[in-house]
Structure 1
């Protein structure tokens, strides 16, 4: 398909452009320089600063004007679709209508680790998959666990107070993957869609971890005390609301953690490792390589970090 594939577009609804979309564009720029790369995102000139050193088309669009999205997608062959947490089905439907109008031939869509009946977000993810089937565009809905990069929202807290928090017990195991590993999987699918299946099972590192283990690694790499404290559920929800996330969406995120606490996370697999042909990045290696993210100089470290206005902005 690489002989006919021309335009790959990363589609997002907010300026939260430091995770999988960012890494995917960078990998494509290196691995497939013959492709035209595009970032379609509101206020694209702001998010585009993160990839200003590679050749990426920036396409702005207005969430209040759906036709502007179809224009931004015009000519796209493959779309990396990052559905927002807030109004996932409504906005995902808008994405798909625009993709159909623009003639998109393939979609790689980010999903979550839980199935319908395992929480509100899982129910919405299942409904979005039904929409994907309805529109008839070839797609992979990729089951993904927590991104290790999620801790980067807490760099300031770790640097200033030596503490990070999530609404889960310290010894509760969770599955995870790094955004760079996920991006490499996406790139393989984009370049060889007929030989790569990302829909069949969870794409994760092959073992789980706990926040207590993460605290120990952070302490080791930073050389100072780092602790983990379980965040109260209401504090978690209100902290997301402070950044503009509507309460129903914040409660969906909380619901993921509640599912992990009550039923356990989706079991880790070796599927990603097998597809990549190499070990996936483990939590200790990832954290060690990013030790600079968790100290006083985190604002100037070279790794991608959340923009000041990120995923919590209104979609």
Structure 2
């Protein structure tokens, strides 16, 4: 039986804090106020402004200095581990060594939908899983598809040009989940570790979607035409590299989309809705409830958004 959790730390290597970590902390603050919550990412004092209304300890650490992780994990019982795309195995191994020294009892680690041999990112995810197995710490690696929140990188493009883009054909189906649904699953695991297994299946909405369908949903919400344009591979890579991602890591993200385009995405499942005890959020509903993200006032929208330096256009 896993010991009760008292301190939960969301650990990441970038200040790109607007997805599952953000929603998980908010849910825990509301559902388990007895817990001590901690956000441990570079420049946490800046990212922490997004959760300034709840009780969260902010801890900065330097990815170039592994020693700096010791303090941020001190006293942590459960760690929500957000491995970076860039140097996933190297940085993930650093996480785990620090977690062992800190006495972390449980890790919930974000994974991807593909298995080793299917794309480069999957190979690194599998290598990190082997390190988790060797760590001696109880863990779940959660197989996750695309987050709908990924389109929030393109709010400016949708607002100003009426277009969004990904490196995939308009009619190619892919699986998805919302960050809030994923966060609720994580909270179930954190609060009752022995009651749920998040490693068993893809945690997704029960049906897939296409970018063409998403363009239609956006147009309905915005009340104006919204176009999906397939992004060239090179533009995708250079866009990510321009805003701080090393080319090798950007190529891994491209490889994930290439796998979806060539072989199809992993099939959607209903496992997430079974574990949640309710339907997961569908694309149409999510898009409608985020209508303020796609208009001229998107910068003042109350929903969590990427840091500005991560925004890229659809040119």
TM-score bracket for the superposition, by shorter chain length: over 0.9
Q: Distance in 2 between matches of 1:16 and 1:2?
A: 31
Q: Distance in 1 between matches of 2:263 and 2:2?
A: 42
Within a 5 Å distance, the mapping from 1:262-281 to structure 2 comes to 262-281=262-281
What is the aligned partner in structure 1 of residue 294 from structure 2? 294
Q: Distance in 2 between matches of 1:90 and 1:50?
A: 28
Q: What are the superposed Cα offsets for residues 100-145 of structure 1, whole Å, 9 maximum, x if unpaired?
A: 0100000000000000000100000000000000111000000000
What is the aligned partner in structure 2 of residue 307 from structure 1? 307
Q: Are 1:201 and 2:165 matched, yes or no?
A: no
Note if contact 2:153-2:310 (Cα within 8 Å) is conserved in structure 1: no
What is the aligned partner in structure 2 of residue 245 from structure 1? 245
What is the aligned partner in structure 2 of residue 24 from structure 1? 24
List runs of 5+ in structure 1 lacking aligned partners: none
- After TM superposition, where is structure 1 displaced by more than 2 Å over at least 4 residues in a row? 1-4, 309-312
Q: Are 1:117 and 2:117 matched, yes or no?
A: yes
Question: What is the aligned length?
Answer: 312
Please identify, of 21-30 and 42-51, the stretch whose mean Cα deviation from structure 2 is larger: 42-51
Q: Distance in 1 between matches of 2:202 and 2:115?
A: 11
Note if contact 1:111-1:143 (Cα within 8 Å) is conserved in structure 2: yes
- The alignment yields a C-alpha RMSD, in angstroms, of 1.3
Q: What are the superposed Cα offsets for residues 216-235 of structure 1, whole Å, 9 maximum, x if unpaired?
A: 00000100010001000011
Q: Distance in 2 between matches of 1:65 and 1:15?
A: 16
Within a 5 Å distance, the mapping from 1:170-185 to structure 2 comes to 170-185=170-185
Note if contact 1:14-1:311 (Cα within 8 Å) is conserved in structure 2: no
Q: Distance in 1 between matches of 2:275 and 2:100?
A: 29
Q: Aligned with 1:108: secondary structure?
A: strand
Note if contact 1:188-1:196 (Cα within 8 Å) is conserved in structure 2: yes
Within a 5 Å distance, the mapping from 1:1-315 to structure 2 comes to 4-310=4-310
Q: Distance in 1 between matches of 2:104 and 2:144?
A: 23
Q: Distance in 2 between matches of 1:261 and 1:143?
A: 19
Change over 3 Å in CA distance of 1:310–1:82 after alignment to 2: farther
Q: What are the superposed Cα offsets for residues 187-225 of structure 1, whole Å, 9 maximum, x if unpaired?
A: 000011111000011000000000000000000010001
TM-score by length of 2: 0.97
Change over 3 Å in CA distance of 1:62–1:305 after alignment to 2: same
Note if contact 1:14-1:310 (Cα within 8 Å) is conserved in structure 2: no
Note if contact 1:13-1:84 (Cα within 8 Å) is conserved in structure 2: yes
